[in-house]
Structure 1
Amino acid sequence: MADGQQIGRLLLIQIGDGATPGPETFNSLCGITTRSFNMSANEVDTTIPDCLNPGDTPQKTAEPGIKNRTFSGSGKFVKGATSTAFMEHVNDATKFNAKVIVPGLGTYTGAWFVSEFEFSGEMEGNMDFSATFVAAGPLTFTAEV
């Protein structure tokens, strides 16, 4: 699917295994059925009044400020090696390496942490979870080829 629409289920977060030395392996956090990736920047106001005609209504101007990258997902909790390692980071509130793969755009790799996590479930259903991931340092972006 090189051109056109992209499949939402391919918007992924992959958790690093923390392997050292050697290359780190990244595995998809299984069970996520709904996901979103937010890219935003603070707006730094640069508006100044017209010095020659201070009575004129100023034109609002701005420049980009701090970049913000967040990934959120929810779905069915699936027990496994990746989810066990992930839950240790959630429980201990620690940073971990991860990749966010955005189909049609590229991959954001770096340190992340979970700012919000919730388990939920019905008496006769599977356990669900939701999580919000926030960049914990500079991210490396690799464009999709």
Structure 2
Amino acid sequence: MSQQKGRLLLIQIGDGDVDPGPETFSNLCGLTTRSFNLSANEVDTTIPDCANPGGAVQRTAEPGIVNRTFSGSGKFFKGATSDTVMGHVTGATVFNAKVIVPGLGTYTGAWFVSEFEFAGEMEGNMDFNATFVAAGPLAFTAEV
């Protein structure tokens, strides 16, 4: 497998319009740094050996609650997609989005913005940081 470009790790925001056809997704522009976290809680299943209670105890676990989080930061770019995102940020609402992970696939479903921050120096462009958290089960489509 070849190297993948980090700039192709994308979050696409749904426009919410599903009538008459499928919802349209657009890239969130301005991102210069981004990350996608795939994790799961560990549920401890460790049981001491009843036949040898004085022996070493092997820790065991199984997966618990899964977590899917997209984070990004960059230069704030005012446009239709950023307007849509800001509407969801200020309204604390759930929306559809796709996270495209190059070399892996696409995670599609309901998301919400758990954190959003603007920052800027007196001279220079305004920056932003955002964290998107899955708000329900996500559909995964593997890259072919």
Which residue type is aligned with residue 61 of structure 2?
A: A
Q: Give secondary structure in 2 for the equivalent of 1:9.
A: helix
Q: TM-score, normalised by structure 2?
A: 0.98
2: distance between equivalents of 1:42 and 1:16? 29
What residue ranges of structure 2 are gaps of 5+ in the alignment? none
RMSD: 0.6
Q: Counterpart of 1:86? A: 85
Deviation (angstroms), 1:55: 1.1
Runs of 4+ in structure 1 displaced over 4 angstroms? none
* Counterpart for residue 9 of structure 1: 7
Could you list the per-position Cα deviations for residues 81-126 of structure 1 after superposition, in whole angstroms to 9, with x for gaps in the alignment? Answer: 1110110000111000000000000000000001110000011100
Give the TM-score normalised by structure 1: 0.97
Is 1:108 the counterpart of 2:110 in the alignment? no
Query: AA paired with 2:125?
Result: N
Task: Please give the per-residue CA displacement for 1:22-41, whole angstroms capped at 9, x wherever unaligned.
Answer: 21000000000000000000
Q: Distance in 2 between the 1:118 and 1:136 partners?
A: 20
The percentage of aligned residue pairs carrying the same residue is 81
**1:80, CA displacement in angstroms?**
0.5
